[in-house]
Amino acid sequence: MAKDQGIYWNPILETLPQEKIQALQLKKFRRILEWAYTNSPFYHRLYQDAGLEPGDIKRFEDIQKIPKIEKDMMREVQQRKPFPYGDMMTVPPEQVTAFRQTSGTTGTPVYQACTWQDWEWWAETWGYILYAQGYRDTDRVFIPFGYNIFVAFWAGHYAAEKLGCEVVVNKRGDIDNILLKIEILPRKEGEQEYILFRLKDQLRVKTNLGYQIEVHPFGSVPRYEVKAKRFKDLRKTGG
């Protein structure tokens, strides 16, 4: 049992011994592999060409036998039917509830067909991330995301709602009204120009949005004291 279940999103799974975690991962991996092999023409070809069948995965170490998928392979399969996803899908098209795609910054976007179960799983995954960072149902989460077909932060939004947070969104177009205040550690003050360049570049790549950025002396920007205390509590209990 965990000393303090309040620090875990899923205390049962997150406190399992490593060997039990790997046994559970192997069980679920084999189930997914069998499903893909049986229901997706693309994965069936991929595994057959590699001389692999689901029954070949007997131990955790056997997972390394699975052939890797490159992004270009996903783009190529999109040329097949059914449009626009190709024959990679493992469910009938009528079970698809959401269309998403990658940003396309490295080439043709990769289209993503999602069922409602996919989003339940994805939100749960993000739930672990946000909860580990200290987010709780008393928090307000601001997401300055364009809310378009780019897959990006949709799952983060749903996870924040799942945690019970109050989610505030901002569509592109209003983003220039957002002011981002940052502090730079004293030992890094000589690198301020480079830090600002990297920050602006990452914001552009990751969000495709613009910001007004202000640099303030270290320690001058007000903190969220409740959250700061919460992080201290987590560290004190070993979380």
Q: What is the pLDDT of residue 92?
A: 92
Q: What is the pLDDT of residue 194?
A: 82
Give the CA distances from residue 181 to residues 10, 17, 195, 209, 213, in Å, rounded to whole numbers and listed in that order.
Answer: 34, 42, 13, 16, 6
Q: What is the pLDDT of residue 127?
A: 94
82, 90 contact by CB (below 8 A): no
**Buried residues in 175-188 as b, exposed as e (16+ CB within 10 A):** beeeeeeeebeeee
Orientation of helix 41-49 relative to helix 18-39, angle to 10° = 110
Tell me the pTM.
Answer: 0.68
3-state secondary structure of 53: coil
Whole-angstrom distance, CA of residue 175 vs CA of residue 212: 9
Domain boundaries, the chain: 5-68, 120-169, 175-236
Amino acid of residue 139: D
Q: What is the pLDDT of residue 199?
A: 75
Give the CA distances from residue 134 to residues 7, 141, 225, in Å, rounded to whole numbers and listed in that order.
Answer: 8, 12, 13
- Per-residue pLDDT 10s for the chain (239 aa) are 333 448 899 999 999 999 999 999 999 999 999 999 999 999 999 999 999 999 999 999 999 999 999 988 999 999 898 888 999 999 999 999 988 888 777 778 889 899 999 989 999 999 999 999 899 998 888 887 777 888 778 899 999 999 999 998 876 545 555 667 777 777 777 888 888 887 777 666 555 555 677 777 777 766 544 444 444 444 444 44
Q: What is the pLDDT of residue 232?
A: 42
Whole-angstrom distance, CA of residue 44 vs CA of residue 67: 12
**Buried residues in 71-94 as b, exposed as e (16+ CB within 10 A):** eeebbebbeeeeeebbebbbeeee
Distance of CA 185 to the CA centre of its chain: 28
Q: What is the pLDDT of residue 36?
A: 96
Alpha-helical runs (H) found in 40-171: 41-49, 71-77, 116-132, 154-163
Kindly write down the DSSP assignment for every residue of 172-217, as one continuous string.
TTSGGG-EEEEE--GGGGGGHHHHHHHHHHHHHHHH----EEEEE-
Orientation of helix 154-163 relative to helix 116-132, angle to 10° = 70
156, 124 contact by CB (below 8 A): no
